[in-house]
Amino acid sequence: MEAISGRKTIQEIAADHAIHPIQVSQWKKQLLDGASELLTRGKKSKDKEEGQAKEAELFQQIGKLQMELEWLKKNLSCSDARELRKLVDPDHPELSISRQCALLGLPRSTHDYRPTPVRESTLRIMARIDALYLDDPCSGSRRMVEYLAKEGIPISRDRVRNLMRRQGLTGD
């Protein structure tokens, strides 16, 4: 340090400490070359430790949020889509509708879905199938097609089967 300060010559410093002047020159050179590294090494390690601590804290928060999200999805997955649609807030200032749907496990297209009303003609056919089924509870879709054809209602067997299934009617 005395050599760097420049108050004494290298010869005087060597004589005071009983060492060779070349050794003093080498130490001075090493100190000047490595001074920036020495000064920043401690700072880097301190910054690195702080960065690792912040990183660990962030990973802990991420883990907690993922666990909460999985819990939310598990508990809401059994809910009906109609109930989930009610939970979406279209006016939320930070979360978009798409993100809210993703968090709820609800497909985005399901949010805007509006069921189409059943046609009047289909309701009449369903009422007629129900009345015929009450008269003959053993009849299946094939026999229902025959009954409806006799009444002048042309309908396929697949459509009758689907309508009967919607009504909860089964033939023996």
Residue 170 main-chain phi, psi, to 5 deg: -130, 140
Distance CA 128, CA 119 (A): 14
- Residue 156's closest CA among 145, 147, 171? 145
Q: How confident is the model at residue 142 (pLDDT cuts 50, 70, 90)?
A: very high
* The pLDDT of residue 72 is above 80: no
Largest CA distance in the chain: 129
Average pLDDT, the chain: 83
* The pLDDT of residue 43 is above 80: no
* The pLDDT of residue 25 is above 90: no
- Residue 147's closest CA among 158, 135, 163? 135
Distance CA 9, CA 4 (A): 10
Within 10 angstroms of residue 50's Cβ, the number of other Cβ atoms is 10
Q: What share of the chain is helix, strand, coil (3-state, %, to 5)?
A: 75, 0, 25
What pLDDT, on a 0 to 100 scale, did the predictor assign at position 77?
A: 61
Structure tokens at 20: 């060779």
What pLDDT, on a 0 to 100 scale, did the predictor assign at position 151?
A: 93
Sequence spans of domains, the chain: 2-52, 67-111, 120-167
Instruction: Write out pLDDT tens, residues 107-138.
Output: 888 888 888 898 999 999 999 999 999 998 88
* The pLDDT of residue 87 is above 60: yes
- Residue 108's closest CA among 121, 98, 93, 119? 98
Residue 53 makes CB contacts below 8 A (sequence gap 6+) with none
